[in-house]
Structure 1
Amino acid sequence: MASATTFTKFAHLQFPLADVLKATNNFHPDNIIGRGGLGPAYKGQLRRAGKLVKISALRLDRKHGGRDVEFWTEISALSDLDHPNIVSIIGFCDEKNEKVIITSYAAKGSLKGHLDSPKLTWTQRLKICVGVARALSYLHYDERRGYGVIHLNVNSSTILLDENLEARLSGFKVSIKQSLNRMDHVVLSDPIGTIGYLDPAIETTKGVTHKSDIYSFGVVLFEILCGRKAFIRDEANRFLAPLAKSHYENETLQDIILPALLDQMSPQSLRRYSKTSYFCLKEERAHRPHMLHIVDELEKALNFQPGLEDFLGKDQVVGELENAAHEIPEEGVERSYMDEFAYKHKNAMQPQSMHEIIKNKANLRISFEDVNQATQNFHRNNCIGGGGFGKVYKGNLKDGDGFKTIVAKRLDTKLGQGEQQFLSELQILLEYKHENVIGLIGYCDENNEKIIVFEYAPKGSLDRYLSDVSLTWVERLNICIDVASALYFFHGGVGKQARVIHRDIKSANILLNDGWKAKLADFGLSLISPLTHEIDYIIDHACGTEGYLDPLYREKGFLTLEL
C-alpha cells in the first residue's frame, strides 16, 4: 500500500516524543532560538547512537493550522539531500499531535541577524555567498539524484551559520522536485516565498522555475552587500531589490553599501559581485544567470579578495563600480538551463519553456473568430458542461471544405480562477499524445480569451453508462484496458523524461467514441514529475473528486502513483 511505502521510507528517521522533550527540556522557552512560518525552533541535545548531539528542533505550531504538508515536504526534501552547505536532517517526531523536525544545530543562527554587523567582514560575507551558491547549484543540477529541487524560499532567514560561519541552507517546506530536463519549464503555482524575495515573473507566468531561486538569491546578495533586510515595512524604500537595481544602473551603488565594508573590498571583487547580483534580479528569467555561472563568479570575487581587508581606499572602490555598471554580462549569462547543465553533462537535451512550446505550435492556433463561429457565439444550447475554469461547448469547426465536430473549453476570466488548470492541461496535451488520451485539435489565446479545442467524443462520458445494461461485460473490460493503457503511458513517461500524475481519475473524465473506445480527459489538476525518482510528492492540498480520492492523499497530502 502507498501508506506503508511512504512511511517506511522515513521510519529510520523517527524519534520518540519522550526523547525530543528530554532534549529540549520540555520545549522550555529559554531554548527557543528562532521562529518561522511553521513554528518555534528550539536548541537541545539529543542522544543519537550513544552520543549527545546538538540539535535544532522545529516544532509545528498548531494554532496556525495543520501545516502537515509543509512538515512532510521538508522531511522528504532533506532526507534525499547531502551537501556541506545544506542543513542536515537528524530525524523527526510525529506523535501525540506533536510534529517536530530535528536538524543539525547552527550555532550562529540565521544570516539575517548578522546583515548589519560590522564584525562580519567582506571576505566572510563572500564565503557565505559562495556556500549558498554551491548549495543551490547542487539542488538545481546534481545528476546523482536524477531530479532537481527548486527551493522557493531562499532568504537571509533560511540561511543558517555554524560556529565557523559556514553557510547552511534550510527551510525546504515549500520546495518542489522537478526532472532535470524540465527545470526551465514553468511549474504552475501561486506566489510562494517571503515578501521582498518573490520572483516578479510569477505574476506573468503563473508559476515558478529554478530561476525563481536565482532572483531570491540575488536579493540575498544585495542584503549582504548593503547590510539591510530585503523588506523594511516603515521605510520609504521598503524593498531592497528595486533600490539596489536603481543604484547599480545609476552608478551610485556605493551610497547603499554597508559603510564598514567599503574599505575592505578589492575593486575586482566588488565588480564581479555587484554585476552578478544585479543580473540575478533581471525581470526576464532568460536574462538571469544560472547557478553554475554564479558559483564561478562568486568564487572569482572571493579569489580577488586578498587576505588583508584594510588596504584599499573608498575612491578606488567607487571607480570600479562605475566601470562595472557599463559592462555587458559575460558569455554564458543568458544560456538556457540545459546549456548550462551540458557544461557538465554532455548528453543533456534542450527543453523549451511552456511559453516557447505554445509559441512554436502556431499550426495549432485557432482564431477566436473561428471558435466563436463554430459554437454559434457560445450559444447556451451548445454548452455541454462546465467547472471552476468556465464552460465547455460543442461546435462545428471549419475544416477544409467541410466541418468537423469539436469541443471547446473556454476559460471564464471573470471567475478569477482556473487559469493554471487551463495552462497545465494545454501543456500536457501538447506534449503527451496517445490513442487513449483525448486529442488536442488546437487552442485560442487572443483578445483575453483562452480556449482549448478537443476532439469530440460522440458517446460522452463513461458515468452516463455505468447502469446501462446494454453496455456488455466485454465492452466494459475493453474500456478498463484503454484507461489502464493511458495511465501506463503517463506513469511510465514513454518517450519522455517525465511522468504525468492525473489526480482526477473518475468516470466523468473518461470519454467514449463510437465503438466504445475510451479516451482519458481533463488534465487541469495534473502534475508532471521527474521520471528518474521514486515519487513521494507532497503538495499544497489534496485535490480531485470526493469518492475517488486516495485516503492517504486526502489525509496526509502524500501523492503517489498509487492514488
Structure 2
Amino acid sequence: MDLTSSEEILINYSITFNSVGKNLEYLQIPLTHIQSATHDFSNEYRIANFPDGYAFYRAELEHYDKENPSSKRHNTVLIKRYPYGNKSYGEKEFLTELEILSGGVKHTNIINLLGFCFEDSEMILVIDNFSNGFLNDYLGNLKDKRVLNWEKRLKICIDVAHALRYIHYEMEDQKMIINRDICSYNIGLDENLEAKIVNFWWSVFLPPNQEDDALYLDLMGRNYYIDPEYKKTKRESDVYGFGVVLFEILCGRLAFDPIYKKESDIGLAHVARRSFSTGSLEEMIDPIIKEEIGENKFVLNRGPNKDSLHTFITIAHQCVAETQDQRPTMKVVVKELEKALFFQVSHCSKFS
C-alpha cells in the first residue's frame, strides 16, 4: 500500500519517548468524521480562536476508547485544529504534542488525548471537553471572574502546580517534561472549575539522569511569561511562567494588560516584583477579592485570610525571581499553595 505524505512523516519522525513506539492507528480519526461533526468547522462549533491561528471546536464525536481500543465511545469532545503553514504551530509542534499526550502522560490535571487526525493539510488533536473555557477568559473579562472567589482561585493554582510537579518529578521511568508554555491561555477549566494544562506543543522531554542539565533552545513562549534566563531552559523556566499566572490570578488581570505595560515592557512580572519590594503589592490585588475582604480587612468568612494571602504572595514572588537559582521547585510550590488553602479553609470554617 502506498503511504500518504502524512503517514510517512509519522513513521519517519524521530520518536524520543520509549513508550510512544506503539502503534497509534487506533487513535486515528478520519477527517470526514471531524468535518461532519463540526459541519466543516463551522463557527457554530468554535469555542475559541486564538490570534496565532489555532482554534478549538466542541462537538459530538465517535472515537476509540483509549483504555479499551477495541471499543468506541460517542460523547462531547474538544477538537484542537492546528493552523496550516503557521511557523509557531506547525508540523513539528503537532507531532511533539501527539508524542507527549500519547506517550504515558497521565494526570488528572493534564488534558487527555482521545484521538488525532493527520490528513492532507489538517493537523488535529481530539481531547477531553472542558466546559468552562480557558483561565484567560476570566482574567480577560470575557467571562465573569466573580465566580472565582479566593478559595476557587487557590484550587486552580494547586491543580496546575500538581500537574507541573508531575511532569517535572513524578513520571514513570524518571522521565521529565519541560512544558515551556505555562500561561493562562494554556489552562482549561472543566465543569467543576478543575484546571488542566492543555498545550504541550513547545515541550521538551528529558530522559533519566539529565534532569539538571540546561537545554540551550530557541526562544519559544509568550513574551510576558518567558523566563529571563530562557537561554538555559530548565524546570525553573516553567516555574517562572507559573509564577506569572499566580500573579494574574491574584491581580485579576492578564500579564500584558495595558496597566502593566505602561510601567514595564515585560508586563506584570516586573511590576509585581517591584511592588513586592516596596511593600505596595496589596494595591494590585483584584478589587473583586478586596470586596470579599470588606471594610475591615480579612474579616469576612468568604474573603481571603491574611495568612493565606501572605503565603500565596510570598511563593508567587519567589517563582518570578529573575534568576533560576532563586526560584523554588514545584514540590515546594505545591506545599506552599496547599498551606495557603489550609489557612483559607480553616478561616472560613470558623465562621460557618
Q: Specify the TM-score bucket, using the shorter chain as the normaliser.
A: 0.7 to 0.9
- Tell me if structure 1 keeps the 8 A contact 2:215–2:233: yes
* 1:461-540 equivalent positions in 2, closer than 5 A: none
Displacement, 1:3?
2.6
Secondary structure class of the residue paired with 1:154: coil
**Residue type at the aligned position of 1:237:** E
Letter in 2 for 1:11: E
The alpha-carbon deviation at position 31 of structure 1 amounts to 1.1
2:214 maps to 1:167: no
Change in CA separation of 1:140 and 1:272 when aligned onto 2, cut-off 3 Å: same
Q: Aligned equivalents of 1:143 and 1:55: distance in 2?
A: 26
CA distance in 2, matches of 1:220, 1:311: 30
The percentage of aligned residue pairs carrying the same residue is: 33
What residue is the counterpart of 1:177 in the other structure?
A: 205
- Residue matched to 2:11: 3
Alignment of 1:328-407 (within 5 A): none
**What is the aligned partner in structure 2 of residue 379 from structure 1?**
none
- Relative CO higher for 1 or 2, CA cutoff 8 Å, sep ≥ 6? 2
Q: Structure 2 residue aligned with 1:237, among 246, 263, 267?
A: 263
Q: How many positions carry a matched residue from both structures?
A: 309
SS in 1 for 2:24: helix
Deviations for 1:104-162, whole angstroms, at most 9, x for unmatched residues? 11101110111252221000000000000000000000141431000000000000000
Question: 1-side partners of 2:211 and 2:74: how far apart?
Answer: 40
Q: Residue 43 in 1 paired to residue 58 in 2?
A: yes
Contact 2:305 2:347 in 1 (8 A): no
1:308-365 Cα deviation digits (max 9, x unpaired): 76999xxxxxxxxxxxxxxxxxxxxxxxxxxxxxxxxxxxxxxxxxxxxxxxxxxxxx
- Which stretches in structure 2 are left out of the alignment for 5+ residues? 1-7, 16-20, 64-70, 294-302
Counterpart CA distance in 1 for 2:207 and 2:22 is 24
| 2:129 aligned with 1:105 | yes
Q: Is the 8 A contact 1:85 1:169 kept in 2?
A: yes
> Normalised by the size of structure 2, how large is the TM-score?
0.82
Question: Paired residue for 1:20?
Answer: 34
What's the counterpart of residue 330 of structure 2?
A: 291
Structure with a larger share of its residues in strand: 1
Secondary structure of 2:36's aligned partner: helix
Residues 453-504 of structure 1, C-alpha deviations (whole Å, 9 max, x = no match): xxxxxxxxxxxxxxxxxxxxxxxxxxxxxxxxxxxxxxxxxxxxxxxxxxxx
Structure 1 letter corresponding to 2:262? A
Task: Please tell me whether the aligned partners of residues 62 and 73 of structure 2 are also in contact (alpha carbons under 8 angstroms).
Answer: yes
Q: Match for 2:111 among 68, 87, 91?
A: 87
Structure with greater Cα Rg: 1
Question: Using the alignment, how far apart are the partners of 2:92 and 2:287 within structure 1?
Answer: 43
Aligned with residue 83 of structure 2, among 47, 51, 61: 61
Kept in 2, the 8 Å contact 1:150–1:210? The answer is yes
Q: How far did residue 232 of structure 1 move?
A: 2.7
How many angstroms does 1:33 deviate by? 1.2
Aligned to 1:34: 48
CA distance in 2, matches of 1:3, 1:21: 25
Instruction: State the distance in 2 between where 1:55 and 1:62 align.
Output: 22
Q: How does 1:61-460 map to 2 (within 5 A)?
A: 61-64=83-86, 67-80=90-103, 81-115=105-139, 117-202=145-230, 206-232=231-257, 235-237=261-263, 239-262=267-290, 263=293, 264-306=303-345
SS at match of 2:147: coil
Q: Distance in 2 between matches of 1:274 and 1:103?
A: 33
Contact 1:89/1:103 (8 A) holds in 2 = yes
What CA RMSD, in Å, does the superposition of the two structures yield over aligned residues? Answer: 2.3
1:183 CA displacement: 2.2
From the two aligned structures, give the one with the greater helix fraction: 2
How many Å separate the matches in 2 of 1:63 and 1:130? Answer: 36
Q: Determine the C-alpha separation between the residues in 2 that align with 1:125 and 1:138.
A: 20
Helix, strand or coil: the match of 1:131? helix
What are the superposed Cα offsets for residues 227-247 of structure 1, whole Å, 9 maximum, x if unpaired?
001113574135000111111
One-letter amino acid of the counterpart of residue 55, structure 1 = V
Counterpart residue type for residue 53 of structure 1: N
Distance in 2 between residues matched to 1:308 and 1:29, nearest whole Å: 45
One-letter amino acid matched to 1:221:
L
CA contact (8 A) 2:168 2:176 kept: yes
SS state of the match for residue 181, structure 1?
coil
Give 1:474's aligned residue: none
Asked if 2 retains the 8 angstrom alpha-carbon contact of 1:34 and 1:42, the reply is yes
CA contact (8 A) 2:78 2:127 kept: yes
- 1:176-195 per-position Cα deviation (integer Å, ceiling 9, x unaligned): 00134322211011211111
Question: Contact between 1:141 and 1:180, CA under 8 Å: does it hold in 2?
Answer: no
Q: Distance in 2 between matches of 1:301 and 1:275?
A: 10
Cα distance change, pair 4–250 in 1 and its aligned pair in 2 (3 A): closer
User: CA–CA distance in 2 between the matches of 1:125 and 1:246?
Assistant: 23
Alignment-mate amino acid for residue 195 of structure 1: N
Distance 1:92 1:31 in 2: 18
Instruction: Output the amino acid matched with 1:166.
Output: E
**2:228–2:323 CA contact under 8 A, matched in 1:** no
Tell me the amino acid that sits aligned with residue 140 of structure 1: H
Asked if 2 retains the 8 angstrom alpha-carbon contact of 1:196 and 1:240, the reply is yes
What's the offset of the Cα at 1:94?
A: 0.9
The alpha-carbon distance between structure 1 residues 225 and 101, as it changes in their structure 2 partners (threshold 3 A), is: same
